[in-house]
Amino acid sequence: MDKIFVVDDEIYTLEFFSELLSNEFEVYKFKSPIDALSKMDKIYPDLVISDNLMPEMSGSEFLDIMNSEYPDITFIMMTAYGSIDAAVEAIKKGAFDFITKPFDNIDELLIKIKKSIENSKLKTNLKILQDNINELFGISNIIAKSKKMEDLLSVVKKISMINSNILIFGESGTGKELIARAIHNLSPRKNNRFLAINCAAIPETLEESLFFGYEKGAFTGANSNKKGYFEEANNGTIFLDEIGEASINLQAKLLRVIQERTVKRVGSSESINVDVRIISATNRDLLKEVEAKQFRNDLYYRINVITIKIPPLRERLEDIPYLVDFFIKKYCKEFNKGEIKVSSDFMKALYSHSWPGNVRELENLIERAVAFVDGDILKVDLINDQIFGDIVDGVNIDSYKNAKEKFEAEYLRKLLLVSNNNITTASKIAGIDPATIHRKINRYKNG
């Protein structure tokens, strides 16, 4: 049932709406906006009906807060007959409609309430459409002409209809998020949120508040209640990219969410039920991380109910001409250029490359080539030292993954040297949490 908050300091009004609406809606009664705001995040109504003149906070002030913190919740202002100017002002500030006391025309009142509920649903659906961008990330836009990719998409179609957690393995640039979005868009959850989170980009000190939310006053700067990622993705899908970078502390909390299907906000003792499908992704060998005690064994098996392995581009060269055609059309449109073709030497060079950056590297190359080309044909001379040095010079470069790990190991060595092995000092120099430095040191020691 749709949820309605009714806010008025008069008991008669609260009882009137409860009697009128309870058969069709869940009605929650509040004697002040402050009481209503305290329950807003937990219940999250579809509609708020509020009086304007109240002692603790006016309806106009209440509307300002709603516009700022809950813009997707529809608002109706109540006024007395002599306060139409206030009602008009409320409409200008963003209220969907207004109703006047006393409530003489019940049919008209019900029509306004039902229209407001429809408006709330339209807002929600628009937000979901904007978040998911289904047309851009649907399975139809995944280039899959090779046998390996056709087989992978066949698996994607099968597993999209079940709720099991999925772990996607693949090198950087293979399109792990694209596959995760395709699974979501083919699933019964497609009309709800798809929320992509890069675990490697979140400082350890912010993990708990970002993933699980917080209550007002839980810490300095917590000026209002805040939903976490799991609440935001409720009834939808959460995509945990680079799950191997999650701290041990976060891993323990993720395990609890999977087992209990509840979250607790920072500063709260209440559990909130969540129904979220978890799709994780990594370019690491998580079993080695488990052996090195950098990743929890129990969490590994919880997130890895179904495994998907995306082949690197060098193992599906048949897809290259179709990918090239797709990216050329994309960037010709973006750069407002006419039709562009590809020379045989250019294509031969693409086939000879090892593609350590996979599809992302190919897209970047085509984007640059289309940007720089003067005529209507991409020729091999566009692939110069700056753009594609290893093809022209015959130099074999390391994979992105190995190069990144070598850089990190050398950086840590120098960091510890200049900080005299003091983790706190090293943390300040690098701008990285001490726990993250500890974790990376252990990883490279065990590697």
Q: Which of 75, 89, 145, 172 is nearest to 117 (CA)?
A: 75
Domain match, 149 and 298 both: yes
CA dihedral 37, 41, 46, 52 (to 10 degrees): 10
- Burial class of residue 47, CB neighbours in 10 A (0-12, 13-18, 19+): buried
Q: Are strands 272-273 and 262-263 parallel, antiparallel or unpaired?
A: antiparallel
At 356-415, the pLDDT tens digits run 889 998 998 999 899 888 889 998 887 754 444 444 444 445 555 566 777 778 788 878
CA-based diameter of the chain, in Å? Answer: 85
User: Which of 57, 92, 127 finishes a domain?
Assistant: 127
196-212: per-residue pLDDT in tens?
Answer: 999 988 888 889 999 99
- Whether residues 169 and 292 share a domain: the answer is yes
Does residue 125 register a pLDDT over 70? no
- In sign, the C-alpha dihedral spanning 185, 188, 192, 196 is negative
Do residues 110 and 247 both lie within one domain?
no
pTM: 0.61
The residue behind tokens 């976060």 is 250
What digits encode the pLDDT tens for the residues 149-195?
999 999 999 999 999 999 999 999 999 999 999 999 899 998 899 99
Measured distance CA(389)–CA(411) in Å, rounded: 25
Half-sphere CA count of 101, side-chain side, radius 13 A? 18
Mean confidence (pLDDT) of the chain: 86
Residue 1, class by beta-carbon neighbours within 10 Å (0-12 exposed, 13-18 middle, 19+ buried)? exposed
Q: Which two tokens stand for residue 361?
A: 């590297």
Helix (H) / strand (E) containing 447: none
% the chain with pLDDT above 90: 52
Residues 387 and 439 in one domain: no
Give the contacts of 147 (CB within 8 A, at least 6 positions apart): 318
- For residue 173, the one-letter residue type is G
Residues 227, 348: one domain? no
Backbone angles phi, psi at 96, to 5 degrees: -75, -35
347: which residues sit within 8 A by CB, 6+ positions away?
A: 320, 321, 324
- The full DSSP string for 195-250 is EEEEGGGS-GGGHHHHHH-B-TTSSTT--S-B--HHHHTTTSEEEEETGGGS-HHH
Residues 156 and 270 in one domain: yes
Quick one: DSSP state of residue 390?
A: H
What gap in Å lies between CA 55 and CA 95, rounded to an integer? Answer: 20
Top mean-pLDDT range of 87-91, 302-306, 423-427: 302-306
- String of DSSP letters for 246-289: S-HHHHHHHHHHHHHSEE--BT----EE---EEEEEESS-HHHH
Give the model's pLDDT for residue 290. 93
Are 46 and 148 contained in the same domain?
no
CA–CA distance, 238 with 193 (Å, rounded to integer) = 8
399: DSSP letter: P
Q: Are 151 and 244 in the same domain? A: yes
- The reply to whether 381 and 417 lie within a common domain is no
82 close to 112: Cβ distance less than 8 angstroms: no
CATH number of the domain that residue 431 is part of: 1.10.10
161 and 269 co-located in one domain: yes
Instruction: Return the top range by mean pLDDT from 98-102, 321-325, 432-436.
Output: 321-325
What does the pLDDT look like over 8-56, one tens digit per residue?
A: 999 999 999 999 999 999 999 999 999 999 999 889 999 999 999 899 8
For 197, residues 6+ apart whose C-beta sits below 8 A from its C-beta are: 211, 229, 238, 239, 240, 241
Same domain, 19 and 103: yes
pLDDT at 447: 52
Domain count, the chain: 4
Using DSSP's 3-state secondary structure scheme, residue 145 falls into: coil
Give the CATH number, domain containing residue 301. Answer: 3.40.50.300
The residue segments making up the domain with residue 362 are: 317-393
- Backbone torsions φ then ψ of 308, nearest 5 degrees: -125, 130
Q: What is the pLDDT of residues 274-289, one digit of tens each?
A: 999 999 999 989 999 9
Using CA atoms, how far apart are residues 441 and 273, in angstroms rounded to an integer? Answer: 37
Note whether 371 and 334 are within 8 A (CB). no
- CATH code for position 330: 1.10.8.60
- List the CATH number of the domain containing 19: 3.40.50.2300
User: Looking at the structure, do residues 354 and 442 belong to the same domain, yes or no?
Assistant: no
Domain boundary among 127, 158, 178: 127
Q: What percent of the chain has pLDDT over 70?
A: 89
* C-alpha distances out from residue 45 to 73, 241, 292, Å: 7, 31, 47
Provide φ and ψ at 294, rounded to 5°.
Answer: -100, -10
Query: Minimum mean pLDDT among 236-240, 303-307, 332-336: which range?
Result: 332-336
CA–CA distance, 122 with 195 (Å, rounded to integer) = 20
Where a domain ends, among 393, 408, 427?
Answer: 393
pLDDT of 340 above 90: yes
> pLDDT: is 377 or 439 the higher one?
377
